[in-house]
């Protein structure tokens, strides 16, 4: 009796295993980091400004008379801004992160044979490697404050505190000097002991050995009155004369508190892929099936180079062609990222 060849399921989805909340912004004094009181919410406010024409002109508009006429017309803008008050020099960003287990088990799959083979493949990876390498990289991205994005740039000091919560209370806490850790590699330096403990906790969460909820708090000493950078909202149907920049804010009562999207935090935490072909030039990028880097407008894992997630996964599961250890880490990190990966019918 012949057996039909194994094919990729047409319905195949995975839920994300690193689940951050949104991050809230508060302002205070660097010397008051140990105190819970005295940290006030950072508000999003509107500002109207009169700008100038500074964009690149088409050749037909470079006539001196036309240019003078354009410059005479004011470029009026209304934008959202967020800044520290003038009596506070430090930005405090806080969020929680859930780490879920059962990696490799699809949340939806319409082919039991494929699902069984996929789970066996992931089990083989876990037996050979565990989650130590991936967890170490996730831990580094928490410790180095990568999730601060632009708020990390130019900061005089950055301190990150990670607390492991049990029944709502800190059961264990780690503290890191974020600026002492590089964003280009995952060398723990002098903070290896604390990073190793944090990574072990994350690995246990991914392995499903324990419930894991982390509270992450970062302090960035930027200077009194300095601008800070929450997420910017994407407004697709913006009309002429509407506000040209809208910042993300969470309403708490009458206040609109500046915040960072959970998706942006997740992108920073999963920026661990330095196994891609252009890693020497670009450094680590966020784990994406095609290695997409939207700011550069390029995909670093091209199917023609057989380095994309789908090619690696299909060869591994369907053809028993195990990728290199580095690419195995990438495939598992993509499953942890989550997504819809079914094959077209």
What interhelical angle do 192-206 and 132-143 show, nearest 10? 120
Residue 48 confidence class, pLDDT cut points 50, 70, 90: confident
What is this structure's pTM? 0.93
Residue 2 confidence class, pLDDT cut points 50, 70, 90: very low
pLDDT for res 136:
97
pLDDT tens-digit series, residues 292-323: 999 899 999 999 999 999 999 999 999 999 99
In percent, the amount of the chain with pLDDT more than 70 equals: 97
Residue 154 confidence class, pLDDT cut points 50, 70, 90: very high
Of residues 73 and 28, more confidence is placed in 28
Average pLDDT over residues 52-56: 76
Rounded Cα gap, residues 85 and 79, in angstroms? 18
> Is 115's pLDDT higher than 60?
yes
In percent, the amount of the chain with pLDDT more than 90 equals: 80
pLDDT tens-digit series, residues 164-173: 999 989 999 9
pLDDT for res 1:
39
Average pLDDT over residues 124-142: 97
Rounded Cα gap, residues 145 and 151, in angstroms? 9
209 Cβ partners below 8 Å, 6+ apart?
101
295 Cβ partners below 8 Å, 6+ apart?
none
Residue 345 confidence class, pLDDT cut points 50, 70, 90: low
Residue 243 confidence class, pLDDT cut points 50, 70, 90: confident
> Is 72's pLDDT higher than 90?
no
Q: Quote the tokens at residue 279.
A: 């890693």
Place of tokens 């919410």: 41
In terms of DSSP bridges, do strands 108-109 and 75-82 run parallel, antiparallel, or are they unpaired?
Answer: unpaired
pLDDT for res 254:
82
Of residues 63 and 267, more confidence is placed in 267
Average pLDDT over residues 281-299: 94
pLDDT for res 55:
74
Per residue in 151-166, is it b (16+ CB within 10 Å) or e — as a string?
bbeebeebbbbbbbbe
pLDDT for res 32:
93
* Cα within 13 Å of Cα(327), Cβ side: 20
pLDDT for res 239:
65
Q: Which segments within the chain are labelled E, that is strand?
A: 12-14, 18-20, 23-28, 40-41, 44-51, 75-82, 90-99, 108-109, 157-166, 169-177, 212-221, 249-252, 255-260, 292-293, 298-299, 339-340
pLDDT for res 240:
64
pLDDT tens-digit series, residues 22-31: 999 999 999 9
pLDDT for res 191:
95
- Cα 266 to the chain's mean position, in Å? 3
pLDDT for res 74:
72
Q: Closest by alpha carbon to 92, among 257, 233, 295?
A: 257
Of residues 53 and 231, more confidence is placed in 231
């Amino acid at each position: 009796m012949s057996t039909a060849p194994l094919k990729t399921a047409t319905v195949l989805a995975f839920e994300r295993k690193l689940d951050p909340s949104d991050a809230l912004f508060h302002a205070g004094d660097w010397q008051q980091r140990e105190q819970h009181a005295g940290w006030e919410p950072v508000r999003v406010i509107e500002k109207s400004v009169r700008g100038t024409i500074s964009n690149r002109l088409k050749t037909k508009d470079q006539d001196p008379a036309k240019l003078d006429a354009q410059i005479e017309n004011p470029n009026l803008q209304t934008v959202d801004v967020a800044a520290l008050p003038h009596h506070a020099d430090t930005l405090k960003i806080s969020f929680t992160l859930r780490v879920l287990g059962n990696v490799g088990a699809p949340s939806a799959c319409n082919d039991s044979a494929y699902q069984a083979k996929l789970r066996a493949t992931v089990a083989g990876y876990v037996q050979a490697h565990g989650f130590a390498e991936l967890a170490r990289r996730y831990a580094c991205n928490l410790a180095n404050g990568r999730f601060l994005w632009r708020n990390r740039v130019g900061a005089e000091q950055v301190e990150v505190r990670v607390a492991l919560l049990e029944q709502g209370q800190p059961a264990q806490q780690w503290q890191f000097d974020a600026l002492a850790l590089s964003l280009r590699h995952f060398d723990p330096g002098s903070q290896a002991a604390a990073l190793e403990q944090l990574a072990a906790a994350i690995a246990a969460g991914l392995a499903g050995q324990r419930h894991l909820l982390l509270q992450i708090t970062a302090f960035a000493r930027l200077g009194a009155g300095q601008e800070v950078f929450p997420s910017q909202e994407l407004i697709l149907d913006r009309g002429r004369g509407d506000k040209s920049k809208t910042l993300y804010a969470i309403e708490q009562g009458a206040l609109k508190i500046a915040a960072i999207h959970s998706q942006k935090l997740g992108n920073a935490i999963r920026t661990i892929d330095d196994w891609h072909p252009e890693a020497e030039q670009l450094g680590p990028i966020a784990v994406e099936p095609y290695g997409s880097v939207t700011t550069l407008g390029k995909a670093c894992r091209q199917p023609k180079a057989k380095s994309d997630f789908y090619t690696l996964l299909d060869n591994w599961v369907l053809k028993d062609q195990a990728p290199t250890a580095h690419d195995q880490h990438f495939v598992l990190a993509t499953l942890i990222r989550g997504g819809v990966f079914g094959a077209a019918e």
